[in-house]
Structure 1
Amino acid sequence: MDIQKKMIDAIQQGDLEGIQNLLEDFKIQVDPDMQYEVVGFFMNFGFLDEADELLEHLQYLFPDEAQLKIDRATLLMEREQEDEALNLFMSISPDAPEYPQVLLALADYYQMQGLYEVSEQRINEALDLLPDEPLLHFSKAELLMEMGRFTEAARKYHELYEAQTEIAGVRLVERLAEVHRAGAAFEEALTFYKKALEDNTSPDLLFGAAYSAFQSQMYETAIHYAEDLKTLDPDYFSAYLLLAQSYAMLENNKKAFEIIREGLTRDEYDKELYLFAGKMALKNSLPKEAEEYLRQAIALDSEYMEAIITLVSILSKEERDEEIIELIEHLEQESFDWSTLSAFAAVSYDRLENYERAYDFYQLAYNDHKEDPLFLEKYAYFLIEDGKREEAQAVVNQLIALQPDEPTWQDLLQTFE
C-alpha cells in the first residue's frame, strides 16, 4: 500500500498516531497537488494541527502562492490565531486575482467581531473588483440582514433570486421568507414561506409560515401551519403557544386551553406556556386553575412580571389582600420596584385599614397611573377620607382633564369649595 493510501486510511480511521508517523515521509514522497488535497481531508476530519503543518510546508515550497496563504490564514482564524492570520492576509497584493477572497475573508472576520461597518467596507471593496460576483452580493445581503437593515437585505436577496434559486447551499426563497419576517413584513414573508414549503417541508419553515400568518391576522392559516408542525414534530414546543394563541384570537378559548395544556405535557419548564394557560383558564371561568398555572410560571421565574401582575389581579378581585401584601413585600425585599404592583398594594393596604402604607403605595403608583381614571378615582376618595384635601383636589382635576364630560368629577370638585 502506498503512503498516500495509508494516510487517507489513517485519517478516516481517526488514527492520530498513524498520521503522525506518516506525515514527514508524506511531505517528501507525495506530490504537492495530492498534499493539498489531503489538507481538505485533515480539515473535514478535524485534524487542524496536521492540516496547518501540511499547509505551512506547502507555503514553504510555494511562498508566492496567494491561495495557500488564504487557505492557511482561514485555518488560523478557525484556530483563533487571528494576528498570524491577519498578517498572512495582508501579505497578499491587492493586484492578485485572489484578492477579493482576502477581502471576503476579512469581512467575515470583522463581522464575527461585531465590526459591521468595517465588514461592509471590505465587501464593498470586493464588489468594486468583481461587481457581478453573486457570492459577494449574497455575503452583502447576509451582513445587511445581521445588521438589521432588512429592506436593503431583502432587495439583495430578490436580485439574486431572479437569477438563481440557491447559493452557497442556501435556498434563497427561504432567506427571503426569513428577511421579510425579521423586518415585520409578514404578508410578504408568508408568500415566500408558502413557496419554500412547496419543495421542502421542515419544522422551522412551518413555524415561520404559522407565525407570519398570525402576525398578518390570518389566524385560520396560522392554525393550519401550526397543526401541520405539531403533527410533523410534536416536540417543537413553540408550536403549542402559537397554535393556542391563534385559537384564542378566533375566540375559541376552550380549544386554546386544550392546546396549551397539551403543550405543557411536552414542555413543563416553559414559563410562557404556564402564563398563557393561566390566562386561558380565566377565559374559561376557571380561576383556581388559573392561579395554579400562574404560580407555576412564577416558580420558574420569580421575576416574571406579567405572571405576577396577572396573579395579583386575581387575588385583588377576590380581595385576598393578605396574600397580595405578602407577595409584594417579598418583592420589595428583593429590591423590585414595580409601579403596577404599587397600585394593587395601595388598594390592599387601604382595605386592610393600614392607611399609612396605603398612602405610600398610592404615591408610588401615581406617576405611572395618572392616565388611569379607575386608579385616580380610588386615590381621590382615599385622600378625601384621609383628610388630604389639597392632594385630593389635584387628583380630581386630573380626572376632569381626562374625562371632562363626566359630571361626577365636577360634583366632587365642588365639595372642596
Structure 2
Amino acid sequence: MKEMLQAIQEGDLQRINAFLETFLMNEAPGEQYEVAELLMQYGYLEEANRVLEHLAFLFADEAQIIIDRANVCMEMGNEDEALELLLSVPNDAQEYPQALLVMADYYQMQGLFEVAEKRINEALELLPNEPLLQFAKAELLFETGRFIEAARIYEELYEQEKQFAGILLAARLAEVYRAGAAYETALDYYMEALEEEVTPDLLFGSAYAAFQSAKYETAITQLEDLKELDPDYFAAYLLLAQSYAMLEDNTRAYQTIQEGLARDEYDKSLYLFAGKMALKNNLPEEAESYLQQAIALDPEYMEAILVLIAIYAQQERYDAVIDLFESVQKEGFDWGALYPYVAEAYDKEEAYDKAYEIYKSAYNEFKEDVAFLEKYCYFLLEDGKRDEAYVVAKQLALLEPTEQEWQNLLERFE
C-alpha cells in the first residue's frame, strides 16, 4: 500500500501498473477505494477505472462506486457508458441525488440545458437545502444567460459561505453581474474577491467593470497592477489604452497600445486602436500604417477599412479611396457605410456613372444624413438629373426646415 501511494505521488506509471494487480488481490476494499480516489485525483483515469471495476464486481449494488465509475468514464470521454451507469442507480438509493447531479453534468456537456435543469430540480426536490445542488443550478443558470436567477442563488449561498467548491462566491457574483451588465455591482464584488486573492482574471474583470462604470482612474489602477503581475495578459493593454483615452491622455494611450503590440503582434483590434490613437496624436502616416496592418490581418475588418477610407477622404486621396473600396469588393464584401466616401471619390475622379450608382445605392441608408444628401443633391444637379435632385432637396428641407439654403433650392426647382 505504501509503495503504491508513493508510485502515484511520484507519477511512476510503470510501477503503478506493476503493483496494481497484486494490490487488487491482497488489499482491503477500503484501501482499494482510497487508491481509486488518489488515481482519479492525479489523473490516472484508466487505472482508476480498473480499480473501480474490480470494486463494482465485489459490491455490485454500491451506488457510490457506480457514480464514481460514471465520473471517470465522463472524464475519459465515454459519455454513453457513463449515462448507462448513472441510469442504473436506484431511485431509492441515498446517493440518487448525486447521480442526478452527475447526469445533469452529462446533459450540460451535450448542450441539453433543459434536460440538465430538470435533473437538478429533481435532485433539489429530494434535498432542497443541499448547497452543492443549489450551486450546480446557479452555475447552469449562469451558463444559459439567466443572470438574475443565478445571482439570487449565488447571493443566498454567499450569505452562508464566502467560498464554495474551491470558488470564491464574490468572484462568481462579480462575473454574473458583469455578464448581466450590472457593472457597478460587479465592481463591488470584484473588490471583495480581490481582498481574498489577487489573480490576473480578477484584476482584469474589476478593471472592465470599472471602465463600463465610467470609473476610468480605478480601471487604470487595476490594469497597471495587472501588467506588473502578468505582463503577457494581452487584453489588459487595449483596455488600459482605452481608459487613458477616455481621460483624454492620448499620449499615454498611444504608448500603452504600442506596448501591447510589442507583446501581441497578431491582434487586429490593437492595430485599429493604435491607428485611432496615432490620429489623435497628429501622426497620420503612423495611423495609416497601423490600419493597413489591421486589414492585412483580416481583409474583412470593416471598422479598420472605414477609418482608413475616412483618412484618405480627408486627405483628398480619392484614388486611394477607390483602390481600397475595389479591393474590398474583389473579396466579395460590400458595406454601405463606405458609400458616401466612395461616391464622392468617384465624382472627384470624374467617374460619374460609378459615382451615380454608389450615391443611388446609399440613398435609403443615408436619407437622414444632411451632409450626404447635400453632396448627392448637387451631384445630381451637375449631372443634369433635376427630377431626382428635387426629391433629395425636399428631403433636405424636411430634415432642416429652417435652413434657408434648402428653401432657396426648392424655389429654384419650382
| Same fold, TM-score > 0.5, yes or no | yes
User: Which residue type is aligned with residue 73 of structure 1?
Assistant: A
In the other structure, the counterpart of 1:384 is 381
In the other structure, the counterpart of 1:219 is 216
Residues 184 and 210 in structure 2, CA contact (< 8 A), matched pair in contact too? yes
State the alpha-carbon separation in 2 of the partners of residues 343 and 264 from structure 1: 32
Runs of 4+ that moved beyond 6 A: none
Which one of 378, 401, 404 corresponds to residue 407 of structure 1?
404
Which one of 240, 243, 246 corresponds to residue 243 of structure 1?
240
Matches within 5 A, 1:103-252: 103-252=100-249
Residues 83 and 106 in structure 2, CA contact (< 8 A), matched pair in contact too? no
CA positional deviation for 1:263 = 2.1
CA positional deviation for 1:46 = 2.9
In the other structure, the counterpart of 2:49 is 52
State the alpha-carbon separation in 1 of the partners of residues 50 and 251 from structure 2: 65
In the other structure, the counterpart of 1:276 is 273
**Which 5+ residue runs of structure 1 have no aligned equivalent?**
none
Per the normalisation by structure 1, the TM-score is: 0.95
State the alpha-carbon separation in 2 of the partners of residues 15 and 190 from structure 1: 46
Cα deviation digits, residues 113-144 of structure 1 (max 9, x gap): 11111111111111111111111111111111
In the other structure, the counterpart of 2:90 is 93
State the alpha-carbon separation in 1 of the partners of residues 143 and 312 from structure 2: 44
CA separation of 1:407 and 1:230: change in aligned 2, threshold 3 A:
same
Matches within 5 A, 1:303-322: 303-322=300-319
CA positional deviation for 1:67 = 0.6
State the alpha-carbon separation in 2 of the partners of residues 364 and 327 from structure 1: 18
Which one of 335, 340, 352 corresponds to residue 337 of structure 2?
340
State the alpha-carbon separation in 1 of the partners of residues 79 and 188 from structure 2: 42
Residues 271 and 294 in structure 2, CA contact (< 8 A), matched pair in contact too? yes
What secondary structure, in the 3-state scheme, does the structure 1 residue paired with 2:413 have?
Answer: coil
State the alpha-carbon separation in 2 of the partners of residues 294 and 185 from structure 1: 33
In the other structure, the counterpart of 1:327 is 324
State the alpha-carbon separation in 1 of the partners of residues 325 and 105 from structure 2: 49
Which one of 59, 62, 75 corresponds to residue 62 of structure 1?
59
Which one of 336, 352, 355 corresponds to residue 352 of structure 2?
355
State the alpha-carbon separation in 2 of the partners of residues 257 and 23 from structure 1: 61
In the other structure, the counterpart of 1:372 is 369
State the alpha-carbon separation in 2 of the partners of residues 83 and 294 from structure 1: 50
Cα deviation digits, residues 83-116 of structure 1 (max 9, x gap): 2221111111111110110111011111111111
In the other structure, the counterpart of 1:26 is 23
Cα deviation digits, residues 304-357 of structure 1 (max 9, x gap): 111111010000111111111111111111110111112211110000000011
Which one of 53, 74, 77 corresponds to residue 74 of structure 2?
77
Aligned-pair RMSD on alpha carbons? 1.5
State the alpha-carbon separation in 2 of the partners of residues 7 and 398 from structure 1: 86
What secondary structure, in the 3-state scheme, does the structure 2 residue paired with 1:63 have?
Answer: coil
State the alpha-carbon separation in 2 of the partners of residues 413 and 145 from structure 1: 59
State the alpha-carbon separation in 1 of the partners of residues 280 and 76 from structure 2: 56
In the other structure, the counterpart of 1:260 is 257
Over the matched positions of the two proteins, sequence identity in percent amounts to: 61
User: Which residue type is aligned with residue 225 of structure 2?
Assistant: D
Per the normalisation by structure 2, the TM-score is: 0.96
CA separation of 1:240 and 1:24: change in aligned 2, threshold 3 A:
closer
The farther-off stretch of 20-29 and 242-251 is: 20-29
Cα deviation digits, residues 141-169 of structure 1 (max 9, x gap): 11111111111111111111111111100
**Which 5+ residue runs of structure 2 have no aligned equivalent?**
none
CA positional deviation for 1:17 = 4.1
